[in-house]
């Protein structure tokens, strides 16, 4: 059985913008991806974690540094036949005081870890959603600020520089979905379906599915 690792943050975990709980199986994009493939041949490994970053340490929650957890996850699920990695949203939080270039450099470090176990042609990087224009307001998520929104919009261009250098496929989640108006940050049910469709098509084109 082939295994595809889906490594990301709350939008990979499947956080519902309405309830703040996890979307059930059959709604979150990772489960929809599993249902699109043959169960007996391919296993989708759901490894999303709320608050996960590329390389930054969350001052309020432990174990959110993706670079540190990735080697353990790769070893846990060995062997890995393909990877979908979507990170960067949490890196835009104001207290990290970072920019799109620095976030992309963090992503590159995660990619370098992946390349020790997985060939470049079997890795799909997904540039995350653009944050909603009002996400920084108190009623949404004040861990972000106005500049966070602009940084999220700049991630794709910076990620493209990294993925072109590494000969890795890149997909923009913002081409297929927008954050829910409820929280300005997370995918709603329609967004999960659209992203699952886009990722499925990319993985088929890459020959992983």
Over the stretch 139-176, which tens digit does the pLDDT of each residue have? 999 999 999 999 999 999 999 999 999 999 999 999 99
Contact assessment for residue 44 and residue 82, using Cβ atoms and an 8 Å cutoff: no
Q: What pLDDT is stored for residue 52 in this prediction?
A: 98
Alpha-helical runs (H) found in 84-145 = 100-114
pLDDT surpasses 90 at 195: yes
Give the mean pLDDT of the chain: 97
CA distances (Å), 17 to each of 27, 128, 180, in order?
A: 13, 16, 7
Q: What pLDDT is stored for residue 171 in this prediction?
A: 98
Q: What pLDDT is stored for residue 38 in this prediction?
A: 80
pTM of the predicted model, to two decimals? 0.97
pLDDT surpasses 90 at 40: no
Q: What pLDDT is stored for residue 74 in this prediction?
A: 98
Task: Please state the rounded mean pLDDT for residues 28-33.
Answer: 98
Q: What pLDDT is stored for residue 141 in this prediction?
A: 97
Residue burial 52-69, b: 16+ Cβ < 10 Å; e: rest:
bbbbbebeeeeebbbbeb
**What are the pLDDT digits (tens) for 54-64?**
999 999 999 99
């Amino acid at each position: 059985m082939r295994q595809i690792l889906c490594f990301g943050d709350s939008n990979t975990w499947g956080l519902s913008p309405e309830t703040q709980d996890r979307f059930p199986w059959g709604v979150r994009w990772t489960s929809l991806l599993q249902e699109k493939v043959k169960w007996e041949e391919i296993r989708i490994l759901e490894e999303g974690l709320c608050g996960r970053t590329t390389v930054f340490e969350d001052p309020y929650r432990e174990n959110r540094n993706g670079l540190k957890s990735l080697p353990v996850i790769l070893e846990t699920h060995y062997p890995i036949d393909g990877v979908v990695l979507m990170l960067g949203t949490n890196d835009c939080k104001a207290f990290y005081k970072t920019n799109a270039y620095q976030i992309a450099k963090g992503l590159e470090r995660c990619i370098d870890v992946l390349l020790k176990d997985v060939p470049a042609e079997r890795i799909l990087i997904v540039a995350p959603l653009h944050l909603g224009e009002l996400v920084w307001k108190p009623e949404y998520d004040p861990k972000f600020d106005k500049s966070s929104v602009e940084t999220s919009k700049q991630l794709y261009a910076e990620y493209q520089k990294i993925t072109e250098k590494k000969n890795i496929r890149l997909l923009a989640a913002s081409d297929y979905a927008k954050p829910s108006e409820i929280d300005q940050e997370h995918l709603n049910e329609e967004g999960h379906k659209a992203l699952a469709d886009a990722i499925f098509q990319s993985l088929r084109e890459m020959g992983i599915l």
